[in-house]
Structure 1
């Protein structure tokens, strides 16, 4: 009798689990159908999503910006090479152009050449004899934007610095009283996470390294915990960095997180946890579409780490500042993957170059569906960024033929 009851209960539990699994799968398929998410046939890229014909960009943008008003940017100059004409900005390459004469804001995507760009901006500021760039990062972002918001609400005419840089700069232009533009440099998201993994084994006190101990987790686990870093930077809300949210965040921490994971200086991860708590998968895909449709409206120049010299040329032309003249041939890199290289040699009794090690790790990460799921938004944005980069280069080459 008891065995029959246990068997009956077991069958009910199995049925419930099956129903929940089917429900979860159908929900995921509905999201994919709605936003057109699809994997390319190649094993090293994800295609940009296509909108379902029953939806419009306007309706998606309206719905998500109503729910998440903090993702809306204001006062930004559009892409210098691909959009300035559409915005009525003259083909002006002189020092008096709004790009050259306005505020310049660098959004630093970690482990994508940003340390070099920041050093370059400091050198340019010294050459121009103007104040050094203002850093906005995990530790000061909440207070910085809170002060600017209060000054803006009081009707004060805010005068910004010439240069800003850091990982939390993507709302500086909202407070600008004169032309203001962003630029960024992106890297293959899988390569970026490999670099982040190796970097954090050495520089474990850096903000992006204090959520998990890189020396105690696999590279796959690290990639999943880091997630789509650039997507998070573009959908970032500095208010989530305030201590007001500490009680909520203590409930949202994940198993395996370090005690420092939700510290005040871990602004990026606090955003990750709260956004995941507040938003559905539908919402995130809507934000993704909003980002893809606005990249050229938000960024005056989008550079690529693997096209370093060309990126510097694009920046120099757009801003009439000596980016290439100052920083050509310079690329700061903290860690040569020596530890991971030793692991490969211990297994294979062979010697591998850094590039071979990276390619091996990339294959390993691409074969893990959990990793690709975690990085998917950044992978999609990166594919779009490469298209924009190509258009920028084409337009840049045309300016050379004219001059």
Structure 2
């Protein structure tokens, strides 16, 4: 019996020893396990983690990578002076005096009055007449600028006034504009056309269909200014008259168009020396006069040009009803979304400009 007992005890001891060795080996293997797993390719985890991250904010580099490089450079507006009230920083006020200026005319937003005012100011100051820039002559204007034929010109204005500052490099230049609620602007545009005013879109149709043809004008004014310009063997510049629309530049890709819009929203403060609003016309003139040192308020306050509006009570009621139709139409809202967003941003900038303006608080 004693031999059997001793034998059983020996077996138990051996078992305990083997168990101890097994635990040690297992622990040692577990410590190495992560390194081993790291070397094993797994289809489940092969998707890069970055695909789940929120996309970075658009930048010039992103624009250049995703869009036409010429468009990216132009909407960067690197030669334009930033907002006088909000981004001037260490620059002296003198940097905004006696420089070239370009008025970006957003139609039916008080722009004709501003253009008439600019002509009057230039005449009184003995300066060359302002250069009117529109779709049919913008390529020729850029050729003249590049070839040094407009050296004396100081004032540019028109619906195609944006991007011109880039053709004046290295001379600095300032953009300014007057904006308006896009729905009100569309109603004004529609009835201006019906009263015989010029319009690219036909107005012998409902205002909703008219709005769907016109769409967001300001977005396309800022992002469709690419005219291909090249030098010939004599170093003379020539610019192609045909420009590509934003739709074609982004190849009808809504994601890329959204990228451009987001970028332009942020760039308004860097691109425009002053942003005015028709709804606060007098204050806008005062801000322009303070920033650019030209008598906008003194010369323009008593004028209001291009008033072909039939201001009868019946027409006023028609306008109210027309705006209501636009506001209730989801397709129209989408068509005007870009200008609505840019206008909302412009209103924020306008309030900040007023806060910084000395003239505004004095009055």
Q: Give the TM-score taking structure 1 as reference length.
A: 0.67
2:157 paired with 1:172: no
Equivalent of 1:198, from 191, 201, 206? 191
3-state DSSP of counterpart to 1:170: coil
- 2:227 maps to 239
In the TM superposition, 1:4-83 aligns within 5 A as: 54-57=54-57, 59-66=58-65, 67-69=67-69, 70=71, 71-83=75-87
- 2:336 maps to 375
Taking a change above 3 Å as real, the CA distance of residues 378 and 119 of structure 1, as seen in their structure-2 partners, is same
Distance of 1:53 and 1:311 partners within structure 2: 42
Distance of 1:313 and 1:292 partners within structure 2: 24
> 4+ runs of 1 displaced by more than 6 Å?
none
Q: Compare 139-148 and 69-78 and name the one that shifted more.
A: 139-148
Alpha-carbon shift at residue 236 of structure 1 (Å)? 1.4
Deviation string 1:45-93 (CA, Å, 9 cap, x unpaired) is xxxxxxx971222x554222331331332211000011101xx313x3x
2:351 paired with 1:362: no
5+ residue gaps, structure 1, are: 1-51, 242-263, 342-350
2:290 paired with 1:317: yes
Distance of 2:60 and 2:143 partners within structure 1: 26
Contact residue 286 and residue 359 of structure 2 kept, 8 A: no
3-state DSSP of counterpart to 1:101: coil
Taking a change above 3 Å as real, the CA distance of residues 359 and 102 of structure 1, as seen in their structure-2 partners, is same
- 1:120 maps to 117
Distance of 2:136 and 2:220 partners within structure 1: 17
- 1:144 maps to 141
Deviation string 1:284-327 (CA, Å, 9 cap, x unpaired) is 10001110111011000000001000001001111111111101
Alpha-carbon shift at residue 239 of structure 1 (Å)? 2.6
Distance of 2:271 and 2:187 partners within structure 1: 28
- 2:176 maps to 183
2:123 paired with 1:162: no
Distance of 1:366 and 1:53 partners within structure 2: 36
3-state DSSP of counterpart to 2:175: strand
Distance of 2:260 and 2:276 partners within structure 1: 22
Contact residue 107 and residue 168 of structure 1 kept, 8 A: yes
Q: Compare 320-329 and 181-190 and name the one that shifted more.
A: 320-329
Distance of 2:360 and 2:202 partners within structure 1: 48
5+ residue gaps, structure 2, are: 1-51, 230-239
Equivalent of 1:214, from 187, 203, 207? 203
Taking a change above 3 Å as real, the CA distance of residues 240 and 191 of structure 1, as seen in their structure-2 partners, is farther
Taking a change above 3 Å as real, the CA distance of residues 53 and 183 of structure 1, as seen in their structure-2 partners, is farther
3-state DSSP of counterpart to 1:381: helix
Distance of 2:310 and 2:339 partners within structure 1: 23
Alpha-carbon shift at residue 188 of structure 1 (Å)? 0.5
3-state DSSP of counterpart to 1:239: coil
In the TM superposition, 1:83-102 aligns within 5 A as: 83-85=87-89, 88-90=90-92, 92=93, 97-102=94-99
Distance of 1:272 and 1:62 partners within structure 2: 18
Distance of 1:369 and 1:305 partners within structure 2: 25
Distance of 1:380 and 1:188 partners within structure 2: 10
3-state DSSP of counterpart to 2:178: strand
Q: What number of residue pairs does the alignment pair up?
A: 297
Deviation string 1:205-245 (CA, Å, 9 cap, x unpaired) is x3xx23x3212x1100000100000000010134389xxxx
- 2:103 maps to 106
Contact residue 192 and residue 309 of structure 2 kept, 8 A: no
**Which of structures 1 and 2 has the bigger CA Rg?**
2
Contact residue 78 and residue 84 of structure 1 kept, 8 A: yes
Distance of 1:214 and 1:372 partners within structure 2: 19
- 1:289 maps to 262
Distance of 1:53 and 1:113 partners within structure 2: 44
